[in-house]
Amino acid sequence: MQSLHKGLRTALMITFGLGTQLSGTQALACAACGCTLSRDWESQGISSKPGFTADLSYDYLNQNHQRYGSAAASPGLINSQLAAGQEVEAYTRTQTVTASLIYNDDDWGISVQVPYVMRSHGTYGTTAPLGSSYSASADASVGDIRLVGRYTGLSEEGASGLIAGIKLPTGNFGKNFDSGTAAGTPLDAGLQIGTGSTDLILGAYTTGTVDTYGWFLQGTVQHAVATQQALGNLYYRPGDAYQLNTGIRYAGFGAKVSPMLQLNVIKREVDSGAFTVPVDPVTGVSVSGGTLAYLAPGVSVRVGGGASVYGFVQIPIYQNVNSLQLTPGYTLTLGLRQSF
């Protein structure tokens, strides 16, 4: 068992080291409808002891459900939008592996998050009949790196704190379509692995316990302060993101097994950039942004030696997007965490 724990430590540190070496070349942009689960155990009151922690997680997100506003898009509506000249997308499938290194002392903490994304995308284009102008792309690279700090000194017991961080424009944003009628032309700005923007992240959190239950509440705002992604001379800026996470965990099984339930809500403002962000040809609304809410049951299991594994399934309970967009039926998260 001791050799297993040593192997887990080694694997996590090697993975993080590789991510750090690759981070200077390319990076990841989160899909608009994903990346909402909170894995910041420190701000949930689960793990905040001083020292280093490494985390390796895998996320699966398949956006393949056509939605217009808050309802599923009917075939008639899809064909009507296509006839008006709107692009009808088929799917966007994203798999992300994120290596994180976290350091905590009594009042401060900092984490470095290096994601690697594998994303494939298909679109029916803007020409009727549906499928007559199909195009596809696939890409894989390290993505936009995040540096996030946390201050826990707002209360003596460290139950409340502040979050501040930055997302760096390390991700590639020059991908073209690989095949189909659009082959060789730039992939939509919102589908690139990197956003090309430097974003500030600000937030706060609080935690507590009631009998055998622990709870947390966390809110963050992400705002792009500088952009560099351009199609010609037309710059793209991702919309601001407002995220609220809350959840409970059950401690009745002891420290080894912790069932959890999260509620994740994100409001994403519309992206901006002349000709780089699609517009609904009927209503003139930007084809970006929306409000989404997910219920996420999950569990964390300690396997000994400072190591734990965890898994969550996010189930959408509310999805309201601008115009015609793709949304997921579910998202899956699996992770491995090692404290040193």
Instruction: For residue range 20-58, list pLDDT tens digits in order.
Output: 333 332 322 333 455 577 776 655 556 557 899 999 999
pLDDT at 230: 60
Beta carbons within 8 Å of 116's beta carbon, 6+ residues apart: 19, 22, 28, 96, 97, 98, 99, 140, 141, 142, 143
pLDDT at 232: 54
Tokens found for residue 99: 């290596």
Q: Which of these, 298, 315, 320, 325, lies nearest to 39 by C-alpha position?
A: 298
Q: Tokens 């699996």 sit at which residue?
A: 334
Domain containing 174 equals 2-339
Spell out, as residue ranges, where the chain has pLDDT lower than 70.
Answer: 1-35, 40-48, 229-234, 274-275
Beta carbons within 8 Å of 277's beta carbon, 6+ residues apart: 189, 190, 236, 270, 271, 286, 287, 288
Identify the CATH number of the domain in which residue 208 sits: 2.40.128.130
Number of folded domains in the chain? 1
pLDDT at 8: 40
Question: Is 0.85 surpassed by the pTM of this model?
Answer: yes
pLDDT at 203: 97
Cα separation, 30 vs 146, in Å, equals 12
Q: What is the pLDDT of residues 175-227, one digit of tens each?
A: 999 999 999 999 999 999 999 999 999 999 999 999 999 999 999 999 999 98
